[in-house]
Amino acid sequence: MVYYDFGFYLTVGALVTGVITLIDKYKWRPKRVEAGLKYDEKGNEVMPFHIDISRSIFPIIFVILILRSFIYEPYRIPSASMNPGLYSGDFITVNKYAYGVRLPITNTQIIPIGEPQRGDVIVFHPPNRQDPTKAIQDAYIKRLYGLPGDTLHWSKGTLTIEPQCEQGETCESILVNPKLKSLQAPELVREGQYNFNLFEQSVGSKTHELLFVAKPYLGALGNEWSIKIPEGKYFAMGDHRDNSSDSRAWHRDNPNAFIDREAIIGRAAGRWMYMTFADTPDFTIPFFKKPVYLPRGISFGRVGTIN
């Protein structure tokens, strides 16, 4: 699949400026040397605009492309689905090599390094419930619970994971049972119509907080379901259990709608900035009809790693 994200345009920009720079080096510049180079008053060589701009910005684009595609990528949290650990307006870094080195545009793995683990906070492209052959361009962030072959059982807030075992092996079930920590949600959580209670749970060696609606019969604490994860697929949920569009909703709408391995962008590594925005857009880009929200405040008080 092709993902038309920022990496796509960086790759196109690097290819265009790189090709122009290469052609200039071996073809166009020798002709200028033969005809006699021209210089401006500052002593810089005078050359056609497209060559000048390509030679200037190609190294910059290339370095950014390498860093963003293969090492770390910046990402802004767009919603409250990962409260209370992550808030809308948090800027984070995504570890791109944690699950293998991948090519930009198609996200095809070229060097295997590691595999997603239960409890990881992952950034990924969600499944297209209407047409699985077409990629969803937006990136989501959720916590990973179901690995390929797992069977998940949810009963009123308690998640039981039955891992897939190799033939002849016996695997113990994994119990993920959140414990009530506070009857009040943290300060930054917008409660609106419903109030939320703060819980704490551990998945593997990772402990984190999560939220449930204060009236259990209205939300996830009152639900029960079981799901079998197919090979090559993954299942993730938001930490704000009753305010997250995640694998639960996608599977309910389409039984085959799981997260694909190749759709996983990377593992959320750390927060580096928090920014507040207006509730309504400041203006809209006419051609793309895209609303633009300008920042209202910046804080570095939430800098830290992501559990």
Residues marked as catalytic: 81, 142
Using a 10 angstrom Cβ sphere, with 0-12 exposed, 13-18 middle and 19 or more buried, the burial of residue 275 is middle
What are the residues facing 206 on neighbouring strands? 203
* Rounded-to-integer distance, Cα 288 and Cα 307, Å: 36
Q: By the 8 A CB rule, do 273 and 299 touch?
A: yes
